[in-house]
Amino acid sequence: MVTTTPLEEQLLELAGSVPDPELPVLTLRELGVVRAVRAHGTDSVEVDLTPTYTGCPAVEVMSLDIERVLREHGVREVTVRTVLAPAWSTDDITDEGRRKLREFGIAPPRTGATRGPVRVELGPTRREGGAADGTREPVRCPHCGSPETELLSRFSSTACKALRRCLTCREPFDHFKEL
User: Closest Cα to residue 57, out of 150, 163, 148, 160?
Assistant: 160
Collapsing DSSP to helix, strand or coil, 101 comes out as: helix
* Cβ-based nearer residue to another protein, 100 or 139: 139
Is 7 among the residues that bind another protein (CB under 8 A)? Answer: no
Question: Ramachandran region of residue 123, left (φ > 0), alpha (ψ -120 to 50) or beta?
Answer: left
Collapsing DSSP to helix, strand or coil, 38 comes out as: strand
Looking at 58, 106, 139, 156, which residue binds another protein (CB under 8 A)? 156
Looking at 5, 87, 96, 103, which residue binds another protein (CB under 8 A)? 87
* Cβ-based nearer residue to another protein, 64 or 167: 64
Question: How many Å apart are CA 74 and CA 51, to the nearest integer?
Answer: 26
* Cβ-based nearer residue to another protein, 25 or 83: 83
Is 177 among the residues that bind another protein (CB under 8 A)? Answer: yes
Looking at 114, 128, 146, 147, which residue binds another protein (CB under 8 A)? 114
Is 155 among the residues that bind another protein (CB under 8 A)? Answer: yes
Q: Where are the alpha helices (DSSP H) in 4-140?
A: 6-16, 28-31, 58-72, 95-103
β 34-40/44-49 pair status? antiparallel
* Cβ-based nearer residue to another protein, 76 or 81: 81
* Cβ-based nearer residue to another protein, 81 or 99: 81
Question: How many Å apart are CA 61 and CA 37, to the nearest integer?
Answer: 18
Applying CB under 8 A, the residues found at the interface with another protein are: 51, 53-57, 63, 80-88, 114, 117-120, 122, 125, 152-159, 163, 177, 179
